[in-house]
Amino acid sequence: MEIPAIKFDNVWKIYRMGAVEVPALKGLSIEIRRGEHVAVMGPSGSGKSTFLHLAGALDKPTKGRILIEGRDPNKLSDGELSMLRNKYIGFVFQTFNLIPRLTALQNVMLPLILRGVDGVERVKRAKEALERVGLGHRINHRPTEMSGGEQQRVAMARAIVTDPKIILADEPTGNLDSASAAEIVNLLTTLNRDLGITLVVVTHNPEAAAPARRIVRIRDGVVYEGN
């Protein structure tokens, strides 16, 4: 049996605020296959962002088991978690999370620096990633010199430059106009199809979710449709 890209088995996430416990996930179980394109939808407070953070090994569950490419983040040290994220996962955020003083090329190279890739190779790979997202002509521009859609493309180039097995996109069209949003959705879908990258998109936008092969709806911390 093939190892799933992401597997949640009865996962709980409880946040403690003083003496009060706030459950964000309540025994959530889901399996995402390698190469799958999944959209995760739900109202605010449903637990979908918590799901994404756990799926990206940015947080650990309170109870239950998570496997990312067959590895349990709960059993890894902080250093091993960082390597897991750097090797297997590319992140695309609503707010782009680019460093303003760096050029597009320099922003895209950052994950390769963390991996210890030498200078010549990381420049080559960063240029290739920017060309793949249609920004080969903007490599020396800084984020402040780019539109929102272009900034998101830089973020996507940064996400794929390490050849990840999984891309996790958190409201990737949330800060974009409709035309730019459509371009980003199309580009994400193309990356999933052409590179075979597992793509998980958390979104409120039905148009961003439409190309997904499966839509998972989360409400009150559990999957209620599409599991």
**Residue-wise DSSP of 161-205:** TT--SEEEEESTTTTS-HHHHHHHHHHHHHHHHHH--EEEEE-S-
Select from 153, 118, 156 the least CA-distant residue to 137.
Answer: 153
Domains and CATH numbers, the chain: 35-51+76-225 (3.40.50.300)
Cα separation of the two ends of the chain = 19
Residue-level pLDDT at 226: 59
Residue-level pLDDT at 56: 95
Residue-level pLDDT at 145: 96
Residue-level pLDDT at 225: 72
- pLDDT digit string (tens) for the chain, length 227 residues: 689 999 999 999 999 888 899 999 999 999 999 999 999 998 888 899 899 999 999 999 999 999 999 999 999 998 899 889 988 999 998 888 999 999 999 999 999 998 889 989 999 999 999 999 999 999 999 999 999 999 999 999 999 999 999 999 999 998 899 999 999 999 999 999 999 999 999 998 899 999 999 999 999 888 887 55
pTM of the predicted model over 0.85? yes
